[in-house]
Structure 1
């Protein structure tokens, strides 16, 4: 790998973990493409607040194969190339099996798998296609997937989410083996609860104290806790982590 400036695409980066990852990578010197599905104003605010220059905003529904390809093309066009891909965009929906209609059950599974699994798989293919044919080649690139503790601990009220994240972990390890010979390192992180907008209703509700008590630290993660690990995995020194799924759950679930 060279010491030239790196170029990162972070999906789902208009808030939460994605926004924190974008900030951490920008602080490390990356030019960052901040992706959102449709919240372009929020994504622009994140991009404008990043240290350094050359950042951009890209948008699109990554569950749609054509839009996923267009997102990667837009990022490459704006940044010149993409060396680091952080597949963070995802959705969480609850569908308890005993109280969800068959139609709603099917719809939830399709949408969650399309966003959480097909989206990263499609965007990763597009990135690898770009890397293999760019003048400097693919060596030194990084792909980092955001999985979940729920893949191991279980998601009884959101089984599609848990299954999608388990599949993301498996995708990570499969691609780590196939892409390592080309110099592309693929890793994942598996966070537990993180203090984001999406988690706020649970954390401020009646179950908040019990959720925090799951960790012996007595708290949930801050997005910056996840972003710091992602930034290390994106660095030159993380090549030997290829295939790793790094647990980031504050010792709330050990395996």
Structure 2
């Protein structure tokens, strides 16, 4: 049976890949993005290719409109079964150049909007006596700080805790809330362009030896949104080629011996 899936950030990058994956599964997709033309083009392509209904909602998620978007999508296109909070922004801002405006906008889009959308969906699902599923897009930056990304890392760390908090409070009313935490993914931002040092460093230290692709992340989102994950909530699924597990390029800590070493 086809579901109604609401995907934020659906105009490009991971959001578009996720919207496409749901379309390929036969689900109807409402896409949200601030970029109207790319959004319409992406959704039209999905609709044509997979013979599913798609519809765009243009909005800036830095405003408190996220909850209203859920209500609009529900009232206009029917009850929402799955919400994917994929929208995110990641400006590179050294701390010495940080302003309250830059900080607040990143936290508003990356943390506040997913929470408000989740709450709005839960309220509608409870009134309609329907189950619902939420999948948030976290990031490896939630557990690994890097220069220029204090606001981004903070927003994603907060989103991981918000995911757990929502799961705890909403599980009893039939709403599951999980997160997928991607590592570096091709095409998701300038920082993983193959010509950059950032890209080369990410590849060289990844245990699986490659950068992720958007379908890698989309497949994980589809799993958490499926009945196969019906007893999973409050989880953060790392989809990063093992980069959060450790660094595969560090040398052996003790040179060439298999004997037990004492001390230190």
TM-score (norm 2): 0.87
Following the alignment from structure 2 to structure 1, what is the Cα–Cα distance between the partners of residues 36 and 75? Answer: 18
Q: Structure 1: give runs of 5+ residues left out of the alignment.
A: none
The match for 1:244 among 232, 235, 239 is: 235
1:72 and 2:64 aligned? no
- Partner in structure 2 of residue 127 of structure 1: 121
Shift of 1:159: 0.6
- Partner in structure 2 of residue 222 of structure 1: 213
Would the alpha carbon gap of residues 160 and 207 (structure 1) be closer, same or farther in structure 2, given more than 3 Å must change?
closer
Would the alpha carbon gap of residues 68 and 150 (structure 1) be closer, same or farther in structure 2, given more than 3 Å must change?
same
Paired residues for 1:1-255 under 5 Å: 4-37=1-34, 39-50=35-46, 51-65=50-64, 67-97=65-95, 99-100=96-97, 104-134=98-128, 137-139=129-131, 141-199=132-190, 202-254=193-245
Which secondary structure state, in structure 1, belongs to the residue aligned with residue 126 of structure 2?
Answer: helix
Root-mean-square deviation (Å):
1.6
Following the alignment from structure 1 to structure 2, what is the Cα–Cα distance between the partners of residues 207 and 113? Answer: 24
Would the alpha carbon gap of residues 34 and 69 (structure 1) be closer, same or farther in structure 2, given more than 3 Å must change?
same
Would the alpha carbon gap of residues 207 and 175 (structure 1) be closer, same or farther in structure 2, given more than 3 Å must change?
closer
- 1:82-141, CA deviations, whole angstroms, 9 ceiling, x for partnerless residues? 1100001110022222x42xxx4322211111111111111112111211112xx132x1
Following the alignment from structure 1 to structure 2, what is the Cα–Cα distance between the partners of residues 201 and 192? Answer: 10
Shift of 1:197: 4.9
Contact 2:5 2:82 (C-alpha < 8 Å) held by counterparts = yes
Query: Which protein is bigger by CA-based radius of gyration?
Result: 2
Q: Structure 2: give runs of 5+ residues left out of the alignment.
A: 247-264
- Partner in structure 1 of residue 250 of structure 2: none
Following the alignment from structure 1 to structure 2, what is the Cα–Cα distance between the partners of residues 162 and 233? Answer: 23
TM-score (norm 1): 0.90
